[in-house]
Amino acid sequence: MAGTQVASGDALAVKLYSAAVFANTQRKNTFTNRMTGPSPSQSDAESKIRNQTSPDYPIVRVTDLSDTAGDQLTVDLFHTIGGKPIVGDRQAEGRGERLTTSTQEVKIDLLTKVVDAGGKMTAKRTKHNLRRIALAQLVNYFAKLNDQQTLVHLAGNRGFDSGPDWVVPLATDADFADIMINAVKAPTYNRHFVADGTALVRGGAQLASIDSTDLLALEHIDALSVMLSEDQFKLQPIKIDDDPAAEDEPMYLLMVSHRAWHGVATKTSGQNWRTFLQNAWNRASYGSKHPLFKGEAGMWGNILVRKMERNVRFSPSSVIRSA
């Protein structure tokens, strides 16, 4: 008679579970933070803006409602004054220029995510600290959600990419408007720039002219730089705190997809490509340690070009709002 044996895989076999845990590979959530400046220091001169981050960056984070009641914030913009000055001893009384403003209402809301880490017996059956894992997952989840909300608002459209990396649903979802909190508005007509062949064309109607051969190239970045410099009311450049050239050489930021970056690379000669990368390195070498200059970046015509980890994508022949 055979002796008592506990075979491999038997229900009585002792199981030793690894304490190592690997989170699913996911894209880094740094899009919003890279384009948001630091909060200003508290001083009398800055007391008026103590509840917002630096206005010299593309994204300004306002925290007025963090400790006070209310679910809506009013952001006021005072327009730049112009006109002729008053010369010499000419009468100035009654000739003051009126201040003009525009106002934007911004709503806030609460977004909640719940992760079930199991009960006491579930925790007893595993060596993993499921509560800590759940908390770590939530930290990354809300960083991802914040990035995607920002991206959709900046792009003015959710697009049609519905991969598992997206936590903001498609615009057709019943909860999309509530999740985005504020209305998603397409860029104004003259804020569309379309790469059509070798030309860069402005205007929403030009979106219909895009085809598979229209790849981003340095020529388009050159044209964009010229358009920005010739605008009567220029787009505000990025003024990084530790960039000594911020005033003399205004810098703009162009975030592109990996495919668009590849298009620039394939359509650029070796020398120009090296110059493109060197320009970004030269700007960073002035002393800036800002994350915008970390990793692979290029610069052309004072426009810093960086790759994005996540993009708003559209399907061929898709219909989108252009205004």
In a structure prediction context, what are the per-residue pLDDT tens digits for the chain, which is 323 residues long?
556 665 766 665 655 555 566 655 566 666 677 777 766 554 444 445 446 777 777 777 776 666 667 778 777 777 778 788 889 888 888 888 888 888 878 888 888 888 877 777 776 777 777 788 888 888 888 889 989 999 999 888 998 888 888 999 999 999 999 999 999 988 877 778 888 888 888 876 667 777 878 889 999 999 999 988 888 777 888 888 777 787 788 889 999 999 999 999 998 988 999 999 999 998 888 767 777 888 889 999 899 999 988 888 888 777 776 65
User: Do 221 and 114 lie in a common domain?
Assistant: no
User: Do 61 and 121 lie in a common domain?
Assistant: yes
Of 310, 303, 284, nearest to 295 (Cα)? 284
User: Do 155 and 246 lie in a common domain?
Assistant: no
User: Do 212 and 177 lie in a common domain?
Assistant: no
E strand or H helix that includes residue 255: strand 252-256
User: Do 113 and 248 lie in a common domain?
Assistant: no
Q: Strand, helix or coil at 136?
A: helix
136-143: long-range pairs with CB below 8 Å, 24+: 136/23, 137/23, 138/113, 140/23, 140/26, 140/29, 141/113, 141/167, 142/111, 142/113, 143/29
Query: Does some domain include residue 52?
Result: yes
- The span from the CA of 28 to the CA of 30, in Å, is 6
Looking at this protein, which amino acid is placed at residue 258? Answer: H
**What are the CA-CA distances from residue 122 to residues 114, 118, 126 (Å)?**
17, 6, 7
User: Do 60 and 150 lie in a common domain?
Assistant: yes
User: Do 21 and 139 lie in a common domain?
Assistant: yes
User: Do 171 and 51 lie in a common domain?
Assistant: yes
Query: Does some domain include residue 271?
Result: yes
Query: Does some domain include residue 83?
Result: no
Q: How many domains does the chain have?
A: 2
User: Do 207 and 115 lie in a common domain?
Assistant: no
110-117: long-range pairs with CB below 8 Å, 24+: 111/142, 111/145, 111/179, 113/138, 113/141, 113/142, 113/145
Q: What is the pTM of this model?
A: 0.78
Structural domain span for residue 279: 189-307
- The span from the CA of 141 to the CA of 139, in Å, is 5
Query: Does some domain include residue 68?
Result: yes
User: Do 160 and 291 lie in a common domain?
Assistant: no
User: Do 244 and 177 lie in a common domain?
Assistant: no
- Residues 141-157 as b or e (16 or more Cβ within 10 Å = b): eebbbebbbbbbbbebb
User: Do 177 and 217 lie in a common domain?
Assistant: no
